Amino acid sequence: MKTKTLLRILLGLLVAALLAGAIYLNSLMCIITGYAAKNLCSAVFVSGRNADSVEQLDLNFSFIRFTRNKVDYEAQTVTSRFLWGKSVAVCRDGFGVTLLRDATANDFRQQTFPLQLAPDYLADTTVWPLGDRIADSLVDSACVARLAPVAKAFIDDQAYNGTPFAFIVLHRGIPVAERYRQGFDAQTRLLSWSMAKSFTNAIVGLMASDGMIDIYAPMDVPQWQGDGRKAITLNSLMQMQSGLAWNESYGSRSDVNLMLHREADMGLYAIEKPLEYEPNTHWYYSSGSTNIVCRYLKECFPSDSMFYAYLWQRLFYPIGITDARFEVDMAGTPIGSSYLYATARDFARFGQLFLDRGCFAGRQVLPPEWVDYSVTAASDSKGKYGAFFWLNRSGSLPDVPRDMFACDGHDGQQIYMIPSKDLVVVVLGYSPKPDRVIDFNRLLADVMDRL
């Protein structure tokens, strides 16, 4: 009798464990299939990459490697399945890719990109930095020769670890090194990951300088008016000191993974988080903060189309970015935490804008004071973070000058700006932690030595 009772208990525990496991696995389905569908769709239709190579490199980890992915080249969609889970991502002209939630591709495609603007110059025929034509008279051939071995070792030999796709160095505003992995070139749009946060910073700076917003004023967010969250400002969010509860872990069912792969309105998901700390007192990294900012900025305009036009007229076109894709969620908000696709040269242009304190090609695009603010350390960050920019004040890269500041993205996407060396370095590729992370400290040290 005791044996039968014990067996029933053990069987009950086994069933409970299996049920709990199935419930947890079910909660991961949106992340597993959503990650595969979104990133494969963007890689194929925005970056122009080969689907098989993307699956073998970018998607070859954890449960993601077991997804079954179907690319529909005519409809420009990707459908990803894992066990009973399914996600669909769709690419639309102008917008890039959006992960669908509770909508079909046909329904969602009715929202067309409203921007009918064009820059007043042609990138192919305009001289650098506004265009892509780099005149021989601008190039320091001796400097190019000195840096060529570093670029080759980095891209071709992977001597600094990781799997780099693109590498470009600007010295005194001029490209002195530029190299791409086979299958990539100067026209390939590549994923920013969290470097997009720094672009969001620039949009805030433009709107602040245009008198549209006050970064130190409490935000008029309806969900926050009845509690301590009403004290949160744009400055709180940009310095990652909002106090809102957030889990940024990338390898779990975390807030950031749920936001990016489950939510139709990403900013709203982050807005509804409760307060965990008093605003402006505690630093911790939160992609949700950036999407709150993007949602707030968009709502300052009478229409989405006016907001998109503002981005291009005030930021992208004035600094030579003519063909980027700032992908949006299903609510139409640019996903400022993660999803900007641009060329290596475009990312370098953005770095040069901030290196030159807001001036680009002789035009003051951002106020110098805004750049100073952006690289001022947040009070609780111990010198490592400003306002959507990372800092080297803490010496995290010991062989790099302390005045270096950076746009830092997942899997090793980087724009490094070093004012004391008049240097911008852009790295794009696949460098997942911990075993394949690029040795950025040695790479930058070698670049500076060659200069």
Which domains, and CATH codes, for the chain?
2-108 (no CATH), 141-450 (3.40.710.10)
Cα–Cα distance measured from residue 325 to residue 283, given in angstroms and rounded to the nearest whole number: 30
Q: What are phi and psi of 436, to 5 degrees?
A: -120, 20
Q: What is the mean pLDDT of residues 295-312?
A: 95
Yes or no: say if 30 and 261 are a contact pair by the CB < 8 Å rule.
yes
Model confidence at 432: pLDDT above 70: yes
Residues 6+ apart with CB under 8 A from 79: 37, 69, 70, 72, 86, 87, 88
Structure token pair of residue 378: 């947040």
Q: What is the mean pLDDT of residues 329-342?
A: 97
pLDDT-wise least confident of 16-25, 275-284, 364-373, 393-402 = 16-25
Q: What is the mean pLDDT of residues 14-39?
A: 79
Q: What is the mean pLDDT of residues 354-383?
A: 98
Cα–Cα distance measured from residue 332 to residue 338, given in angstroms and rounded to the nearest whole number: 15
What pLDDT does residue 392 have? Answer: 98
**Range picked from 23-37, 47-61, 107-121 for highest mean pLDDT:** 47-61
Structure token pair of residue 72: 């529909």
HEC letters along 34-52: HHHHHHHHHHHHCCCCCHH
Cα–Cα distance measured from residue 346 to residue 321, given in angstroms and rounded to the nearest whole number: 6
Model confidence at 12: pLDDT above 60: yes
| Helix, coil or strand: residue 395 | coil
Burial of 108 (0-12, 13-18, 19+ CB in 10 A): middle
**pLDDT one-digit tens code per residue, 226-273:** 999 999 999 999 999 999 999 999 877 899 999 999 999 999 999 999
Query: 271 vs 115, which has greater pLDDT?
Result: 271
Q: What are phi and psi of 41, to 5 degrees?
A: -60, -45
β-strand partners of 91: 97
Structure token pair of residue 253: 């069912």
Yes or no: say if 98 and 108 are a contact pair by the CB < 8 Å rule.
yes
Q: What are phi and psi of 68, to 5 degrees?
A: -105, 120
What pLDDT does residue 4 have? Answer: 75
Q: State the pLDDT confidence band at 433, using cuts at 50, 70 and 90.
A: confident
Cα–Cα distance measured from residue 48 to residue 44, given in angstroms and rounded to the nearest whole number: 5
Q: What are phi and psi of 307, to 5 degrees?
A: -65, -45
The whole-chain average pLDDT of the chain stands at 94
DSSP string, 185-197: -TT--EE-GGGHH
Query: pTM of the predicted model, to two decimals?
Result: 0.95
Q: State the pLDDT confidence band at 139, using cuts at 50, 70 and 90.
A: confident
Q: Report how far Cα 150 is from the mean position of its chain's Cα atoms.
A: 26
Q: State the pLDDT confidence band at 19, using cuts at 50, 70 and 90.
A: low
In eight-state DSSP terms, residue 133 is: B
Question: Is the N-terminal amide bond of 114 cis, ω within 30° of 0?
Answer: no
Closest-CA residue to 203 (of 340, 92, 94, 302): 340
Residue appearing with tokens 């549209």? 212
Q: What are phi and psi of 244, to 5 degrees?
A: -70, 140
Cα–Cα distance measured from residue 36 to residue 242, given in angstroms and rounded to the nearest whole number: 31
Closest-CA residue to 39 (of 348, 327, 347): 327
The letter for the amino acid at 408 is D
Q: What is the mean pLDDT of residues 123-129?
A: 95
Q: What are phi and psi of 161, to 5 degrees?
A: 80, 175
Structure token pair of residue 43: 């890689």
- Helices then strands, counting H and E runs in the chain, come out as 13, 15
The letter for the amino acid at 359 is C
